[in-house]
Amino acid sequence: MSPIAQRFPNRRRFLLGLGLLTQVAAAPKAPIVTVLGDSITAGLGLSAKDAFPAQLQAALTKRGVSAIVRAAGVSGDTSGGGLARVGFSVAGDTRVCVVALGGNDLLQGVDPAQTKANLRGILQKLKARGVGVVLVGVAAPPAIGAAYAREFNAIYPSLAREFSVPLYANILSGVGGNPALLQKDGLHPNADGAKRIADALAPVVAKAVKARI
């Protein structure tokens, strides 16, 4: 040990600690994925660990993507509600936003042209901020009226093409109509249903996150 090190035995430990702190500070932060949605993505009726955001984060981790999934779902929210709050619900550190709105528009019979305009407004705001987007649709059943269903179902692929964003066509694909994956209301996924949705959506979100790193 040098004479200086002998005189200042704590100096070496201090410098080593400072170096470790610098390495920690320089480590890249996990990308933030924000889910802007309604009761399905908010996890209505489920614990936080069983809700879609936590399930999506776990599914991404399994695919080697260490993202933090932030919940921004509001039960009962329509596309108009999402447009009104996108500025503060999707924080500035968001790398990718999963936009999953429209189910309540469908239930309320909102004019598909209005739903499309609202979703377009959301995508425009996110694009202007440089936030990546994954657009998640919901399928209108023919029983609601063939013309309405056709116009509504065309919203999501049309916007995905317009904004060149990835599309997951139907959030309830493989879950809707399956009692084993739904809560007693027959509408909202249970824990297994939320996991099914998260597992199916994870590859699309993972690809979008990797494209923004």
Active site residues: 39, 185, 188
Rounded to whole angstroms, the Cα distance separating 122 from 118 reads 6
Residues 6+ apart with CB under 8 A from 61: 67
DSSP-H helix ranges across the chain: 3-7, 9-26, 39-42, 52-62, 79-89, 103-108, 112-128, 146-153, 155-163, 191-212
Residues 6+ apart with CB under 8 A from 157: 137, 167, 169
DSSP-H helix ranges across 27-100: 39-42, 52-62, 79-89
Beta bridge partners of 36: 72, 99
DSSP H or E run through 135 = strand 132-136
Q: 115 near 154, Cβ under 8 Å? A: no
